[in-house]
């Protein structure tokens, strides 16, 4: 499983980098991911000054702006703890692109590489490090499709961990959809620069997911979910996608962190 998870057999502490999309648009996904991590006995630190990995500007052709934003995150993870990110896309940005972004400066580059080496996508962390016992989870039968973001699949190689989480949950049937490896059409600013093409991709993706007869679908990326759920809402159909952390929390019957200890 990549990226290499830091050599901590049983980490006590982790950082949580929520991402800007989760912070502003999908806070439940962040709360649910934290609930799962805490349920596994971890102390989760949320550095309050965190904002964004810089990806939106980076992929649009404004790397200098991305660099300034990424720079503002570099000091937020001083302890050698894993940094759990509930997004393959933002984790990919930090893991692969931060070291390049800071390559011109030896000192910053060193810190970026250190952070990059500790970044781990949520499902990858759950499967590779947490070793959660999922057998006790709710076993009510449910058919679920999985949408793996392109960055999760191709940059972070976490397709298998996403599938592994679902496979380990009793009662969950994974519904494979047609052209599963294909992009949902989000692509950050691509979705608004080429709206008709993006919409055609989102439409095809949702038709394929709906054709499986699943009752819900999950993804580890809120960018894709914003795109797909906003399209579904406009269509007026009841199907919705959820962050895999929310689905996992519910199946594990873990209370939301807000009602927790």
Sites for another protein among residues 27-86 (CB under 8 A): 27-28, 30-31, 34, 45-52, 54, 56-63, 65, 68-69, 71-73, 75-76, 78
- Site residues for another protein, window 2-21 (CB under 8 A)? 18, 20
**Residue 218: phi, psi to the nearest 5?**
-125, 155
Residue at token pair 């390559």: 103
- Residue 44 corresponds to which tokens in the numbers above? 């989760």
* Alpha helix ranges (H) inside 81-125: 88-92, 98-101, 106-118, 122-125
Q: Is 93 in the site for another protein (CB under 8 A)?
A: no
CA 59 from centroid of its chain's CA atoms = 18
- Least Å distance between CB 198 and another protein? 7
- Residues within window 183-202 making contact with another protein, judged by CB under 8 A: 183, 185-202
The residues in 209-248 that bind another protein, with binding defined as CB under 8 A, are 226-227, 230-231, 233-234
* Residues 160-179 as x/- pattern, contact with another protein by CB under 8 A: --------------------
Token pair listed for 41: 């006995």
Is residue 180 near another protein by the rule CB under 8 A? Answer: no
Q: Is residue 253 exposed (0-12), middle (13-18) or buried (19+ Cβ within 10 Å)? A: exposed
Q: Please, what is the minimum distance in Å from the beta carbon of residue 57 to another protein?
A: 5
Q: Should residue 150 be labelled a site residue for another protein when binding is judged by CB under 8 A?
A: yes
Contact between residue 173 and residue 144 where contact means Cβ atoms under 8 Å apart: yes
Interaction between residue 208 and another protein (CB under 8 A): no
């Amino acid at each position: 499983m990549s990226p290499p998870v830091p050599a901590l057999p049983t980490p006590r502490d982790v950082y949580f980098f929520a991402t800007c999309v989760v912070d502003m648009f999908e806070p439940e996904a962040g709360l649910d991911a934290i609930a799962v991590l805490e349920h596994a006995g971890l102390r989760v630190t949320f550095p309050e000054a965190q904002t964004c990995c810089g990806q939106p500007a980076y992929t649009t052709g404004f790397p200098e702006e991305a660099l300034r934003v990424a720079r503002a995150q570099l000091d937020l993870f001083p302890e050698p703890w894993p940094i759990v990110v509930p997004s393959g896309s933002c984790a990919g940005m930090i893991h692969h692109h931060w070291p390049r972004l800071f390559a011109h400066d030896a000192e910053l580059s060193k810190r970026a590489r250190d952070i990059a080496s500790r970044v781990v996508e949520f499902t990858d962390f759950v499967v590779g490090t947490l070793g959660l016992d999922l057998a006790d989870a709710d076993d009510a039968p449910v058919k679920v499709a999985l949408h793996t973001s392109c960055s999760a699949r191709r940059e972070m190689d976490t397709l298998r961990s996403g599938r592994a989480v679902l496979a380990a949950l009793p009662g969950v049937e994974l519904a494979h959809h047609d052209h599963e490896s294909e992009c949902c059409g989000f692509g950050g600013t691509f979705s608004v620069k080429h709206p008709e093409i993006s919409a055609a991709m989102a439409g095809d993706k949702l038709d394929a997911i709906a054709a499986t007869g699943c009752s819900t679908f999950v993804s580890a990326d809120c960018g894709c979910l914003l795109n797909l759920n906003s399209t579904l809402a406009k269509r007026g159909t009841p199907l919705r996608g959820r962050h895999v952390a929310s689905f996992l929390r519910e199946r594990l019957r873990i209370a939301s962190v807000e009602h927790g200890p």
